[in-house]
Amino acid sequence: MTPFIERVRARAAALGQRIVFPESTEPRTLDAVRALTSTGMVRPVLVLDPAQPGSHVATRAMGVECLDPSSDARADALADHLYAQRKRKGMTRPEAAALARTPLFFADWMVRTGRVDGCVAGASHTTGDILRAALWVVGPASGVRTVSSAFYMVPARHIPGSAIADVLTFTDCAVVPAPTASQLADIALAAADDRRRIVGDEPVVAFLSYSTHGSAKGASIEVIRAALEETRRRAPGLAVDGELQGDAALVPSVGDRKAPGSVAAGRANVLVFPSLDAGNIAYKLVERVGGATAIGPIVQGLRHPCSDLSRGATSDDIINVAAITALQAGSPDVIQGR
């Protein structure tokens, strides 16, 4: 276990957050819930699956709090909410009632209403499933226009001559395919905010490109420059720069040479990719070729945290995402010890 993951788990344990898991028939989820229960890292809550009643007895026998949306009266309030929100899009009352009794939507309603602090799912649901339920039920945080995602990448080793932190934020790698300048600014600000909660340090943000400070020209570079301008206007105290190539963002000697005087070059810990293509390809290469540990995708910009897992997640991955979800839900002042 890396020092970063050890810190995340320890800080999550100090918060005592209630995290709901709607995939109660998924063996990896159940293994993670057992471990979380035994360590007390979070307080797990399981949502039973009405479509698989034969699993309920064994799940209840785990000794973890279980909720059954097929018999819980709170599902009626969720159905009303869904119908009110989606009837203009063609949703009928019977459709809303059916969705309200599915584990994922019901779990997110528990998050929305404060019954639990966050949700972790995705071992058997797609990212589209997770985002749809989260957006329809929980919704974006106040002032947030773009819900996005980040991976927390833990390098396998220190790179000589670099100032790479023991964890890097890669964003966005899973949600927004071709972000506009304003969406890139939203993504950068959400990633910086979550980094303070999750890692506990100050974000240093780099908008990545194939160009550094005008070394090349292109339409995508103009988008990045507009995103930088908007980010600086909206968060004047944030250390942010662009456009920066990857080496200029991460290696001090290269940053000094390519972008002298930059507040982010050579020491960035939040890397904002210009497109979903770039971000998704980069995180998978860094993970598979570079040997880094990829934690996520962590959904950012929601009113309350609803985290997405890779469908290839191990039980250990689920534990780590649960810990990060607990930190997202907690007070930044508590998390950073201020």
User: Which whole-number Å values give the CA distances from 335 to 46, 193, 215, 324, 329, in the listed order?
Assistant: 25, 12, 40, 11, 10
| Fold adopted by 148-288 | Rossmann fold (3.40.50)
C-alpha to C-alpha distance for 261 and 263, rounded to whole angstroms:
6
- pLDDT of 271: 97
Query: What amino acid is encoded at 266 in this protein?
Result: G
Overall CATH class of domain 3-139+303-335: alpha beta
300 in helix, strand or coil?
Answer: strand
Tokens 């890397």 correspond to 271
Which are the contacts of 160, defined by CB distance < 8 A and separation ≥ 6? Answer: none
Per-residue pLDDT at 297: 85
The pLDDT profile of the chain, 338 residues, written as one tens digit per residue, is 778 889 999 999 999 999 999 999 999 999 999 999 999 999 999 999 999 998 999 999 999 999 999 999 999 999 999 999 999 999 999 999 999 999 999 999 999 999 999 999 999 999 899 999 999 999 998 888 899 999 999 988 766 655 566 899 999 998 999 999 999 999 999 999 999 989 989 999 999 999 999 899 999 999 999 999 999 999 999 999 989 999 999 999 999 999 999 999 999 999 999 999 999 999 999 999 999 988 888 999 999 999 998 888 899 999 999 999 999 997 533 333 32
Give the pLDDT of residue 153.
93
Task: Return d(Cα 247, Cα 245) in angstroms, integer.
Answer: 6
Looking at residue 335, its pLDDT comes to: 33
Residue 169 has what pLDDT? 96
Do the two domains 3-139+303-335 and 148-288 of this chain adopt the same fold? yes
Domain boundaries, the chain: 3-139+303-335, 148-288
Task: Count the residues in the chain.
Answer: 338
Question: For residue 38, what pLDDT is reported?
Answer: 92
177: left (phi over 0), alpha (psi -120 to 50) or beta: alpha
Contact 54, 24 (CB under 8 A): no
Query: What is the structure's pLDDT at 123?
Result: 92
Residue 56: exposure state from Cβ atoms within 10 A (0-12, 13-18, ≥19): middle
Give the CA diameter of the chain.
65
